[in-house]
A = this chain, B = another copy of it.
Amino acid sequence: MKICIAQLNYHIGNFEGNLNKMLEAVAKAKTDGADIVCFGELATCGYPARDFLDFDDFIAKANASLERLTQEAKDIAIVVGSPTINPVPEGKDLYNSVYFLYDQKVQFVQHKALLPTYDIFDEYRYFEPSTEFGVHEFKGKKIALTVCEDIWNIGNENPLYKICPLDEMQKDGFDFIINVSASPFSYASAKTRQDIVKANVYRYGKPMFYINQAGAQTEIIFDGGSLVVSPNGKIHQELPYFEESIQFFDLDDVNQGTQENVQDNDKIKLIHDGIILGIKDYFGKLGFTKAILGLSGGIDSAVTAVLAARALGPENVKVVLMPSQFSSDHSVNDAKALAENLGCPYDIIAIKDIYDAFLEKLSPIFGDLPFNVTEENIQARVRGTLLMAQSNKFGNILLNTSNKSEMAVGYGTLYGDLAGGLSVIADVYKTDVYRLAEYMNKDGEVIPINTITKPPSAELRPNQKDSDSLPDYEILDTILYEYIEKVQGPQEIIALGYDPKLVARILRLVNINEFKRYQTAPVIRVSPKAFGVGRRMPIVGKYLS
Partner of A540, one of B286, B372, B492, B545: B286
Which residues of A (50-96) have their CB < 8 Å from a CB of B?
Answer: 50-52, 54-58, 89-93
Assess whether A353 is in contact with B347, with CB atoms less than 8 Å apart: no
Q: How many identical chains are in the complex?
A: 2
Does A191 touch B at the CB level, under 8 Å?
no
Which residues of A (125-178) have their CB < 8 Å from a CB of B?
Answer: 125, 157-162
Partner of A519, one of B50, B372, B519, B537: B519
Does A49 touch B at the CB level, under 8 Å?
yes
Partner of A366, one of B51, B361, B393, B421: B393
A294 to B292, CA, bound (A): 29
Looking at the complex, which of A103-111, A193-201, A267-275, A374-382 is the stretch in contact with chain B?
A374-382
List the B side residues contacting A414 at CB < 8 Å. 388, 419
Partner of A90, one of B159, B378, B487, B515: B159
Q: Closest approach, in angstroms, between the C-beta of A41 and any C-beta of chain B?
A: 15
A157 to B89, CA, bound (A): 7
A351 to B385, CA, bound (A): 14
Looking at the complex, which of A116-124, A227-235, A248-256, A299-307 is the stretch in contact with chain B?
A116-124
Looking at the complex, which of A9-17, A179-187, A454-462, A468-476 is the stretch in contact with chain B?
A9-17
List the B side residues contacting A536 at CB < 8 Å. 50-51, 122, 125, 533
A388 to B54, CA, bound (A): 38
List the B side residues contacting A392 at CB < 8 Å. 372-374, 377
Does A282 touch B at the CB level, under 8 Å?
yes
A354 to B384, CA, bound (A): 15
* Interface residues as binary, A349-375 with B (CB distance below 8 Å gives 1, 0 otherwise): 111011001101110111001001110
Does A500 touch B at the CB level, under 8 Å?
no
The interface on chain A, measured as residues whose beta carbon lies within 8 A of the other chain's beta carbons, has a size of 96
Which residues of A (1-33) have their CB < 8 Å from a CB of B?
Answer: 11-14, 17
List the B side residues contacting A545 at CB < 8 Å. 13
Assess whether B542 is in contact with A14, with CB atoms less than 8 Å apart: yes
Does A217 touch B at the CB level, under 8 Å?
yes
A333 to B11, CA, bound (A): 51
Assess whether A93 is in contact with B540, with CB atoms less than 8 Å apart: no
Assess whether A13 is in contact with B378, with CB atoms less than 8 Å apart: no
Which residues of A (274-298) have their CB < 8 Å from a CB of B?
Answer: 281-282, 285-286
* Interface residues as binary, A387-418 with B (CB distance below 8 Å gives 1, 0 otherwise): 01110110000000000000000000011000
In the complex, residue of chain B having the shortest beta-carbon distance to the beta carbon of A347? B365
Assess whether B49 is in contact with A11, with CB atoms less than 8 Å apart: no
List the B side residues contacting A374 at CB < 8 Å. 389, 392-393
List the B side residues contacting A419 at CB < 8 Å. 414-415
Partner of A421, one of B58, B351, B515: B515
Which residues of A (207-248) have their CB < 8 Å from a CB of B?
Answer: 216-218
* Interface residues as binary, A322-347 with B (CB distance below 8 Å gives 1, 0 otherwise): 00000000000000000000000001
Partner of A541, one of B52, B351, B362, B364: B52
Assess whether A160 is in contact with B92, with CB atoms less than 8 Å apart: yes
In the complex, residue of chain B having the shortest beta-carbon distance to the beta carbon of A545? B13
Does A434 touch B at the CB level, under 8 Å?
no
List the B side residues contacting A358 at CB < 8 Å. 354, 385-386, 389
Assess whether A13 is in contact with B538, with CB atoms less than 8 Å apart: yes
Does A465 touch B at the CB level, under 8 Å?
no
Q: Closest approach, in angstroms, between the C-beta of A12 and any C-beta of chain B?
A: 4
Assess whether A57 is in contact with B491, with CB atoms less than 8 Å apart: yes
Does A481 touch B at the CB level, under 8 Å?
no
Which residues of A (467-509) have their CB < 8 Å from a CB of B?
Answer: 487, 489-492
What are 20 A-B interface contacts by the 8 Å CB criterion? A12-B538, A50-B537, A52-B541, A55-B489, A57-B491, A117-B124, A122-B122, A217-B540, A285-B540, A285-B542, A353-B357, A353-B361, A358-B385, A358-B386, A373-B392, A374-B393, A378-B385, A385-B415, A415-B419, A421-B515
What 5 A-B pairs come out closest when comparing CB atoms?
A13-B543, A57-B489, A415-B415, A374-B392, A14-B542
Given contacts A374-B393, A384-B415, 10 further A-B contacts (CB under 8 A): A17-B542, A91-B162, A92-B160, A217-B540, A285-B542, A354-B357, A372-B392, A381-B385, A415-B415, A415-B419
